[in-house]
Amino acid sequence: MPKQGWTTVDLPAMSGRTVVVTGASSGLGFVTARELAAAGAEVILAVRDEAKGHGAAAAMPGTTEVQPLDLSSLASVRAFAAAWTGPLDILINNAGIMQVPQGRTTDGFEVQIGTNHLGPFALTNLLMPHISDRVVTVSSEMHKRGHIDLEDLNGERRPYDSFQAYCDTKLANLLFTFELQRRLTRAGSGVRSMAAHPGISKTNLASHVTGLKGLGLKILACFAQDADHGALPTLYAATGELPGASYAGPDGPGERRGYPTLVQASETARDSELARRLWDASSRLTGTGRNLPAAS
């Protein structure tokens, strides 16, 4: 019987490679880290809860290490990056939160934009001198419902909508991915910036969704794929022979489930001027990102 699509069987040998996976203690991040470790990579689980991270690492084969990282805190991001020594082949920006109650990070950012975009933005830029291969940032099909208000990134001028705030961060992830690739290319760097989305996957991320309980979770289960399959687009983007600015997602109807393939981002996500302005705003807010300037 012919093989249907790309799976973990197609992962290349990763011996001698070092990978950081954020949010690797559960869900898609756990599967991503586990499979890369099984392929021979040294995998650093960058996690908020170290005890949970050590539990996850104990369930993985190969070489793993747990390091603390809270993306909602720029101090934590800076400490993680400052402690890094040696090469880093691949950074996978997987960690994120979804539709949580209104709140602020320790730096005063709206909690979803702070955790899902500004934290990974700062982490990537601070680690960039060490990265030799690629950066993979996990987005979502919900980016197509996103809207970026550069004058109000923290949502202070509008009523809080947890779903809209989440969609906005997923759009920000793609704008960042593509702008990072443009800046790397202009700098003559061979590092690639990629993105991926898991389709609809059954992970604990959905458990935080307001009102999604009982029957809602049962309905979700009918359409969703498990984390093992949901992580495939990330693994494909992290290891496949793909050009920079590639965006991977499931090949099934509506990109809800299936085997990984290259998919299309929205027109807004490809808006280079919006991406440049978001980069500049993110750079001001985080104090990072100035080493990869845009073209004059």
Q: What are the angstrom distances between the C-alpha of 75 and each of 81, 90, 135, 158?
A: 10, 22, 21, 28
CA distance 165 to 100: 9
Q: Which two tokens stand for residue 72?
A: 């909602």
CA distance 14 to 135: 16
What residues have CB less than 8 Å from 218, skipping those under 6 apart? none
Indicate if 247 belongs to the active site: no
CB 184 within 8 A of CB 295: no
Place of tokens 């996957």: 201
Q: State whether the Cα torsion 235-241-244-250 is positive or negative.
A: negative
Of these residues, 166, 236, 247, 259, which one is catalytic? 166
The residues annotated as belonging to the active site are: 166
